[in-house]
Amino acid sequence: MLTWKKGRRPARPRTGASHRLLAGTLLALLVTALVPPPSAAARAPDCPPGQNDCSIWGDDPGDPGDPGDPGGGNGGGEKPPAARCQWNGRPVACYDEFLGWFNNADGCYYKLLEPQREAPEGSVWYLQTCNGGDQGQQNPVLLEAPPPGFGAPPDPEELARRVLARLSLLPPPIAVAPRRDTGPGLVGLPVWMWLVLPTDEPGERAKYLGPIEARDSDRGLMVTLTAKFERIVWNMGNDVKVTCTGPGTPYDPKGPRAGKPSPDCGYDSGYPKADTYQVSATTYWSVSWQGGGESGVIPQTRTSGTIPIEIDELQVVTR
C-alpha cells in the first residue's frame, strides 16, 4: 500500500519515464526467458531408479550409498509371459485371500458366502466382487455350478514371480581407472573397471553379486527361488563391450600392477582415440525356481548409471 502525509500528494510520474520503466521490465523478462538452462555437463549424471550415486571417482571412492531396493520385476532380461488373469488389459491376481478366485469371463472374484443362506439342492451362495477386484459393492449370488477358475490351485510360476518382486537385486555401483583426480587417461593404455560395494557384509554383497535364496507358500504350494549373478557387461561408451565374470579389482596407482592390464576385468587395449566417454555396466542374473512339480528360470538384468572417463592423446617428445 502507498501512503503519504496529509496535504501532500505523491508526485505523478512523467509519461516518458513510465514508458521507459515498462520497456525495461519487458526487456528483462525477455532476456530471462531466453537464457538457456545449465548445460548437461554441469548436471550430475543420470542414475537409474533406486541408485543414488553413479559417479564414483578418486583413489578412495568412498561409500557410494545404498541404491535402495528396486524390487524384482523383469529388469529387461526377458519378456514376461501373458498374465493368466486379466481385467481391462491389466493383470490381476488369480486368487486373493479376501476376495477369492478370479473369473476372467466377467471380471469378478468369487468366494463362498459365510454363512450360507438357504438354497435349492445343488446350488451354492457366493460372494461376488466385480470390476477386477476394485473395492466396491459386493453381491451375494446363487450359482448352480462353481464359476470358472473357482478353487484353482496357485500357479507355481506366478507365485515365483511374486517372490522375485520382493528380492533386492540392485544395480551395480561402478568405478573405472584412470580417474578424474589423477588426470585423464591416454590413448591405447589399459582401463580398469570394478564394483565399489558399500560393505563386506555377506547379506549386503549378495544384493549385487548373489546368491540370494527365498521361498514362499500359498494354499499349500511351496516355491523356492535362487538368484545367481552370472556376468557383468561393461559398455565402454564407444560401441565396445567388455564382459567380466566377477566384480573386478580396484586399481592401485602405487601398486605393482599400476599401468598394467587389470587381472580380471579391464579394457586391455584401451581407447583408440582421445575423447570423453560415458561408461555404464549391466549385471545379468539367473533366477531359478521350483515348486509344485514344476521349475523354470527367470532371467534378470540390472543397469548402472553412467560415469565419464577422459582420454587424451599420447604426446611424444623428440630431441
C-alpha 292/C-alpha 67 separation (Å) is 35
Q: Is residue 3 a part of any domain in this protein?
A: no
d(CA 158, CA 299): 15
Q: 293 in a domain, yes or no?
A: yes
Type of residue numbered 252: D
Q: How many structural domains comprise the chain?
A: 2
d(CA 12, CA 14) in angstroms, rounded, equals: 6
Q: Model's pTM, two decimal places?
A: 0.65
Q: Is 141 exposed, middle or buried (0-12, 13-18, 19+ CB in 10 A)?
A: middle
Strands 124-129 and 138-143: antiparallel
Q: In terms of residue numbers, what domain contains 126?
A: 95-143
Residues 6+ apart with CB under 8 A from 2: 10
Kindly give the confidence (pLDDT) of every residue in the chain, 319 residues in length, as a single tens digit, with 9 standing for 90 and above.
333 334 444 444 444 444 443 344 433 433 333 333 333 333 333 433 433 333 333 333 333 333 333 333 344 444 445 458 888 888 888 888 899 999 999 999 999 999 999 999 999 999 999 986 676 689 999 999 999 989 888 889 989 999 999 999 999 999 999 876 667 899 999 999 999 998 889 999 999 999 999 999 998 899 999 999 999 999 999 999 999 999 999 999 889 998 899 999 999 999 999 999 999 999 999 999 999 999 999 999 999 999 999 999 977 655 6
pLDDT in tens, 220-251: 899 999 999 999 999 999 999 999 999 999 99
- DSSP for residue 122: T
Same domain, 206 and 262: yes
Q: Do 199 and 242 reside in the same domain of the chain?
A: yes
